[in-house]
Amino acid sequence: MTKRITTGKKDREKLKQQKRQEKLKRKEERQSSGTNTFEDMIAYVDENGRLCSAPPEISKTEVDISEISVSTPKQEDIEEPKLLNGRVEHFNSSKGYGFIKDLGSSEKYFFHISTAPSFIKEGDKVTFQIERAARGMNAVGISIINKQ
């Protein structure tokens, strides 16, 4: 459809009026073609998920109240955290942190002085537990076995 080029204000007003008339005519045609009420637009879903135009019949089943159990599930036995054996690989006393190497898996774990004895130093054999922290696994509950 090509766009008309109008030269004056009267032509533009005339085109606007024509468009309004056409729009009103289309609206009247839609309304006269059939009545679409809200009830005509509703679709129902039966228990099998199929769409239908009439509401499905609801089948009521009796539920025995004694069969319903409301309770919290029984808590599983929580394992005690394992004590791991390791050796202090690095310790910076001025900054208050270090690393412990697990003797079983050769993993290194960060520790802070607040979770270790104050007299800990590099080379000490220790027992410890691991705990998840923001940046990974940390060694906590550290105790010294053999002083180096």
Report how far residue 99's alpha carbon sits from residue 120's, in angstroms, rounded to the nearest whole number. Answer: 11
Whether the pLDDT of residue 1 is over 60: the answer is no
Res 127 pLDDT > 90: yes
DSSP-H helix ranges across the chain: 9-33, 38-41
* pLDDT tens per residue across span 11-42: 889 999 999 999 999 988 887 776 667 777 78
d(CA 12, CA 38): 39
How many domains, in total, are found in the chain? 1
Q: Give this prediction's pTM.
A: 0.46
Rounded to an integer, the average pLDDT of 122-128 is 92
Residue 79 lies in a domain: no
Q: Mean pLDDT score of the chain, rounded to an integer?
A: 84
The answer on pLDDT for 86 being more than 90 is yes
Question: Mean pLDDT highest for which of 1-5, 59-63, 114-118?
Answer: 114-118
Residue 29 lies in a domain: no
Domain CATH code at residue 139? 2.40.50.140
Q: 18 lies in a domain?
A: no
Residue 99 lies in a domain: yes
Q: Which domain holds residue 103?
A: 84-146
CA distances from 59 to 46, 47, 109 (A): 11, 9, 62
